[in-house]
Structure 1
Amino acid sequence: MKFFIDTANLTQIREAQTLGILDGVTTNPSLMAKEGITGTENIKNHYKAICDIVEGDVSAEVIGTTYEEMIKEGEELAALHPQIVVKLPMIKDGVKACKYFSDNGIKTNVTLVFSAGQALLAAKAGATYVSPFIGRLDDISTDGLHLISEIRKVYDNYNFQTEILAASVRHTMHINNCAKIGADVMTGPLSAIEGLLKHPLTDIGLEKFLADYKKGN
């Protein structure tokens, strides 16, 4: 499973990169605003700065909601760097734009997916990634992981090459379970990724090893 970090914070991206396991980055206007990045040119420059840190795909989200707006903005984003993946909303014009980009060799990430039917449409339109938001489904007492399983079954039935990018990952168990049920990618905060490192028996074992070493010296 690929590991993406979901943030616009350059310090956190660099920290994840130093682990040697980072495959890419996802971000969005809300995450940009959280870092105080506003204005079209500043946002574009920030995307380029992210691409300079990581080697994998970097999802850059369009703001427009019409086909024409998404095509114009997506082409501008794709031109920033070869690693840019154009992030499109799961709406009718977003699917149309996805088809346009896939026909023209530009990678896409169809986001805000909450059903297997939406994921099917994205795959039919040639999406590189589809992003089901599992955490947001959990928030409304719906099983977000079940959606990942449904999409996996549909994609396997028809050999779709679109990658399932589990988004809105909130914690370490989300990552573990997504890996078990076949998500191709997960994107989440640095805290969830680093949480995989932790186990009390690891800490106890290391403490004992070090204590025994000190006794012998």
Structure 2
Amino acid sequence: MKVFLDSSDINEIKEISDYGFIDGVTTDPVSIAREVTKGSTTEQVITSIIKAVNGEVHIQVVSQDYDSIMAQAFKIHSLGMNVIVNIPATFTGIKAMLKLNEKKVKCSALSVYNTVQAIMAAQNYAEYVSIKTGKIKNTAEDGMELAYNVNQTFKNCGFDAKVLVGGISNPEDITRAGIMGAGAISVTYPLLKQVEGDINTGTEIAEQMEAWNRIAESSRTFFNK
């Protein structure tokens, strides 16, 4: 299962990338716009992310008509072979995925809220089908159950598309994504820091350091040389 950082903040991206456990970064127009308000242009934000990431970078088109989607997709693709073009799973977007596949452009289907949308995107060779489970929960449905059903459907039908579980709001859903065998997860910086700061981890480390510090200074020979 691939792990992506869901962020357009270059400082967050550089910090988490340095730890080595992420496979890339997912962005969207909302997170990019947030960075633009800090004084950058959209081009500066996107290019700085691509330079900082040793892995996949997911960039979304910002148009709804076919010709513009295609033009924007090719521009995104030109940024590098590691760049994935994010396209909303409308009929127009799904049509674009098919044509882009013919040109070897990898796409991820976004705004997927039911299994039929997911199947259509997979039929048209989407590399990923992204399901934002947190937003589905806001509609009183179980987003993780939808992700599970889509993942099982892909396996049963032999689709190559991978389910990308996004919009994760708690560590338990990361576990559920792993158990279901999702192709990827996209996790925000605050949630990653929450997982790192598990109280049990801190307690155990404190106990270990307390025991070590009780050793007489003259006997701490291993690390003192």
Indicate the TM-score class for this superposition, using the shorter chain for normalisation: over 0.9
The structure-2 alpha-carbon separation of the partners of 1:38 and 1:19, relative to structure 1 and needing over 3 Å to count, comes to closer
Aligned to 1:166: 165
Question: How far off its partner does 1:160 sit?
Answer: 1.1
- Which of 57-66 and 76-85 deviates more? 76-85
% identity of equivalent residues: 23
Aligned to 1:19: 19
In structure 1, distance between residues paired with 2:138 and 2:14: 30
One-letter code aligned to 1:5: L
SS at match of 2:159: coil
One-letter code aligned to 1:138: K
Aligned to 2:194: 195
Question: How far off its partner does 1:44 sit?
Answer: 3.0
Spell out, residue by residue over 1:44-78, the C-alpha distance to the aligned partner (whole angstroms, 9 max, x if none): 33222111111211111111101111001111111
Aligned to 2:134: 135
In structure 2, distance between residues paired with 1:200 and 1:27: 30
Question: How far off its partner does 1:199 sit?
Answer: 3.3
Unaligned runs of 5+ in 2: 217-225
In structure 1, distance between residues paired with 2:109 and 2:75: 17
How many residue pairs get aligned? The number is 216
Aligned to 2:181: 182
- Which of 124-133 and 173-182 deviates more? 173-182
Runs of 4+ displaced beyond 6 Å: none
Question: How far off its partner does 1:37 sit?
Answer: 5.7
The structure-2 alpha-carbon separation of the partners of 1:191 and 1:157, relative to structure 1 and needing over 3 Å to count, comes to same
- Kept after mapping to 1: 8 A contact 2:32/2:42: yes
One-letter code aligned to 1:150: N
One-letter code aligned to 2:81: P
Question: How far off its partner does 1:38 sit?
Answer: 9.6
Aligned to 2:121: 122
In structure 2, distance between residues paired with 1:162 and 1:130: 7
- Which of 197-206 and 74-83 deviates more? 197-206
- Kept after mapping to 1: 8 A contact 2:65/2:92: yes
Aligned to 2:31: 31
Unaligned runs of 5+ in 1: none
The structure-2 alpha-carbon separation of the partners of 1:59 and 1:108, relative to structure 1 and needing over 3 Å to count, comes to same
SS at match of 1:60: strand
Spell out, residue by residue over 1:147-190, the C-alpha distance to the aligned partner (whole angstroms, 9 max, x if none): 11101111001221111111112222221111111211111211
One-letter code aligned to 1:145: M
- Kept after mapping to 2: 8 A contact 1:62/1:73: yes
The structure-2 alpha-carbon separation of the partners of 1:23 and 1:161, relative to structure 1 and needing over 3 Å to count, comes to same
Does structure 1 residue 214 correspond to structure 2 residue 222?
Answer: no
SS at match of 2:5: strand
Spell out, residue by residue over 1:83-134, the C-alpha distance to the aligned partner (whole angstroms, 9 max, x if none): 2111101101100000011111011011000111111000000001110110
- Please tell me whether Structure 1 or Structure 2 has the larger radius of gyration of its CA atoms: 2
Question: How far off its partner does 1:200 sit?
Answer: 2.9
In structure 2, distance between residues paired with 1:190 and 1:90: 26
- Kept after mapping to 1: 8 A contact 2:164/2:186: yes
In structure 2, distance between residues paired with 1:81 and 1:43: 17
- Kept after mapping to 1: 8 A contact 2:112/2:118: yes
- Kept after mapping to 2: 8 A contact 1:32/1:38: no
SS at match of 2:41: helix
Aligned to 2:102: 103
